[in-house]
Amino acid sequence: MTEKSPEKHVLTAPVETSAIPRVRRLADNKPTGFMAKIRYELQFIRGRGAFEISIVLVLLLTGYVTAAIIDPANFSFLNPNNLSGVISQAIPVLAILGLAAGILMIAGEFDLSLGFALTFNAIIFIRAVEAFGWAVGIAAGILSGVFVALVNGLIVVATKIPSFIATLGMSFFWGGASIFINGTTPAMIMEGEDKAALEALFTQDFGSFRAQLIWLLIIGVGTWFFLHRHRLGNHIFAVGGNPSAAKAISINPSRVKLMAFAIFGALVGFASILIAVRTSSIQPGGSATESFTLFAIAAAVVGGTSLNGGRGSVIGIVVGASLIELIRNGLLLAKAPGFYITLFVGVTIVIAAIFNKLMEGKAS
């Protein structure tokens, strides 16, 4: 006779249930109101240099306007001719060159041949206009810029030589090449239909502003969408910030850097056309445009572009270029010696680099 095993009773208590919270996504944090959206966008501008340098620009403009109102005879900042020359001519050219240098710096590279390349591209542009007309000349000037930059980029990518050294050496090559093509006499755009068409397209005076400002807006908006809203722009930031990490997620650093060099060259080529049409002549050798290299890099650095790559913004670079040109203009209006301008740019680059380094330290 077998004994019956006692029944086992398991007592269970009712489990309290609650609603499962909905998982919040990053997109859910976006605000809906107008002012809330502005505050949301400002938090991304801050730390890139654009927000901080914009405050400095506003303070500088306030001081300039106040000084011009108090003493217009000795500080003619509000003179229409002065405003047209600075805002419509000087700032657009430097801003476009700053964008060129800035994109390359974000990718982690430099091109110190910028000033000499300006001369070479402008001479190719002028010679092409003389031979084939203004339309072919424009294409030749831009393609010349892309060619020069790609040659520099291929040397950097293929040999792994630091771009600082490689492009410094190539700058003298392109300066010599401009003399080889045109000789030592200035290249000039001759009077005629081609010159009239080019002036209407690139230097047209609309009263309160000139055509260069329109070109800056077009290029600036296009560059902003490419750099900050396009996949290839993200690749440039990724390669400049950490090439090894970018390669790990199937981004080809060499290809991206060559693309950055090509964009750099196209922008420099276009700026060459603006300068050539405005001045109507270019002196071969690069001595007249050599200083643009320093000022373009300064515009990018002042605008918050990192010297180590991986950080920068289009708005910051344009604001940085505006600040530099306005300070240059203020020094000229104040009748300061010419070497003050060069002194200022050198000090500005150092201060901006230190500030950017501190910002990077806070972000890390």
Q: What is the distance of C-alpha 245 from the center of its chain?
A: 24
pTM of the model: 0.84
**pLDDT bucket at 112, cuts 50 / 70 / 90:** very high
Region of poorest pLDDT, from 19-23, 71-75, 280-284: 19-23
Spatial separation of the C-alpha atoms in residues 225 and 218, rounded to whole Å: 11
Picking from 185, 163, 136, 159, the residue whose alpha carbon sits closest to that of residue 285 is 185
pLDDT at position 277, please? 94
* Average pLDDT score, the chain: 84
Spatial separation of the C-alpha atoms in residues 260 and 104, rounded to whole Å: 6
Backbone angles phi, psi at 290, to 5 degrees: -60, -35
- Residue 350 pLDDT > 90, yes or no? no
Q: Would you say 182 and 123 are in contact if contact means Cβ atoms under 8 Å apart?
A: yes
Spatial separation of the C-alpha atoms in residues 353 and 351, rounded to whole Å: 5
Q: Would you say 104 and 307 are in contact if contact means Cβ atoms under 8 Å apart?
A: no
pLDDT at position 39, please? 54
pLDDT at position 285, please? 84
Domains along the sequence of the chain with CATH = 84-363 (1.10.3470)
pLDDT at position 80, please? 85
116 sits in the region (left: phi over 0; alpha: psi -120 to 50; else beta) called: alpha
Q: Would you say 142 and 88 are in contact if contact means Cβ atoms under 8 Å apart?
A: no
Spatial separation of the C-alpha atoms in residues 255 and 336, rounded to whole Å: 46
Question: What is the percent of the chain where pLDDT is above 70?
Answer: 84
Question: What is the percent of the chain where pLDDT is above 90?
Answer: 50
